Amino acid sequence: MTKHARDRAVVLGAGMAGLLAARVLSETYKEVLVIDRDRLGGTEQRRGVPHGRHAHALLAKGQQILNELFPGLDTELTSAGIPAGDIAGNLRWYFNGRRLQPFDTGLISVSATRPELESHVRARVAALPQVKIMDGCVIRGLTASADRSRVTGVEVVDESGTDTPTRLEADLVVDVTGRGSRTPAWLEEFGYERPAEDRFKIDLAYTTRHFKLKEDPYGTDLSINPVASPSNPRGAFFPRLADGSSQLSLTGILGDHPPTDDEGFLAFAKSLAAPEIYRAVRDAEPLDEPVTFRFPASVRRRYERLRRFPGGFLVMGDGVCSFNPVYGQGMTVAALEAVALRDHLRDAPDPDALRFFRRISTVIDVPWDIAAGADLNFPGVEGPRTMKVKMANAYMARLHAAAAVDGAVTGAFFRVAGLVDPPQALMRPSLALRVMRNSSAKPSVPSGAAV
């Protein structure tokens, strides 16, 4: 393009990662086009986000970044009736079959469904004068310079079925199409290497159903979350929603998938470490049929290790690293990558892909290590169990046991799990002493809790 290097950016994908990328790109590009196959609008479930109907979480760091990029978003969400509260003080957590003591961290969790959150963020992005969202468009492929050294745009066709592609020229194309990203194939087509992959096969499935409850099991809590552990590899997320209904997402790893028939679904719920979930749903009114989403493996594509990459092209979000969704890291890592993109654009008028990939690699390292280490705690997950992983998992077992009697340990854990504090914070001498002192204590029912 014979134009200014920051005239037009094209973002492939209008999910959360794409919207956050567009928000950042709007600060430096005159025009930002966001392309998505789905017809967008409202809070309906859409085909491009098949996991959107299941429980989602925005970690504390992600919440902070969204409020920075979209000032007042938290107030907007709560004004829309979406429940909000402290991540460790107003959510009921079970680890290794023991309920953690609550603790007010000051870190807010907004109990929005994925479609609700995406709808509010999309409206904010669409209101930016530099941004245009083009929905109902199928991506045919990239266009490149004659020597394939630079991506020059993208070809799209209307979803209605026309065979005549439209070529959109761009100074920068950003692939945020998710786990199904075609970037490895596009690289190979252009004569580049595919990135190496780190992969942990977890064979996870979510099965989700919505209920109208007859009795309130929550009290002041927003959600009841028994987290899967090797002793009980079945987990769940059971939030109350803005419309007064409840969403129950059952999780099962290594092929132990939650059933979709009524009897099997309830039997699975009965096996959870949080008995109040089964008691709440056994006589509740189902509002829909159970739906299952399968997640075969956590995958990290090592773009930062490539020696060559075409100019004018980046990839972000799940296309770089797709995390085990039970840890709720995906949207927050996308937010962290968006901040990294903003910093990179300030340093380089024409983005350097390999430098950018090295920058976001440091963003990904911590959540990837947290998730991979937790997955390797399950004996059936294949992967190298280094001494570091074994020691970390042994310490975390003691930490969770201590958190069942000591709310300060709970608070410290969720600051790290929420990507606000580094993992090293859990090894502070004062906290380690609390862990060692309390990890063998008998837990009590948290004050004011429903049982």
Looking at the fold, whether 228 and 323 belong to one and the same domain comes out as: no
pLDDT at 405: 96
Domain of residue 16, residue span: 8-58+115-196+302-364
In a domain, 274, yes or no: yes
Looking at the fold, whether 283 and 360 belong to one and the same domain comes out as: no
Cα 254 to Cα 204: distance, rounded to the nearest angstrom = 6
In a domain, 221, yes or no: yes
Q: What is the pLDDT along the chain (451 residues), one digit of tens a residue?
A: 334 468 999 999 999 999 999 999 999 999 999 999 988 876 666 565 656 566 878 899 999 999 999 999 999 998 998 888 999 999 999 999 999 999 999 998 888 888 889 999 999 999 999 999 999 999 999 999 999 999 999 999 987 766 788 899 999 999 999 999 999 999 999 999 999 999 999 999 999 999 999 999 999 999 999 999 988 899 999 999 988 999 999 999 999 999 999 999 999 999 999 999 999 999 999 999 999 999 999 999 999 999 999 999 999 999 999 999 999 899 999 999 999 999 999 988 789 999 999 999 999 999 999 999 999 999 999 888 889 999 999 999 999 999 999 999 999 999 999 999 999 999 999 999 999 999 886 665 554 444 3
Global pTM value: 0.92
Task: Point out the domain boundary residue: 296, 319, 335.
Answer: 296
The CATH number of the domain where 321 resides is what? Answer: 3.50.50.60
Looking at the fold, whether 170 and 255 belong to one and the same domain comes out as: no
Looking at the fold, whether 192 and 205 belong to one and the same domain comes out as: no
pLDDT at 161: 64
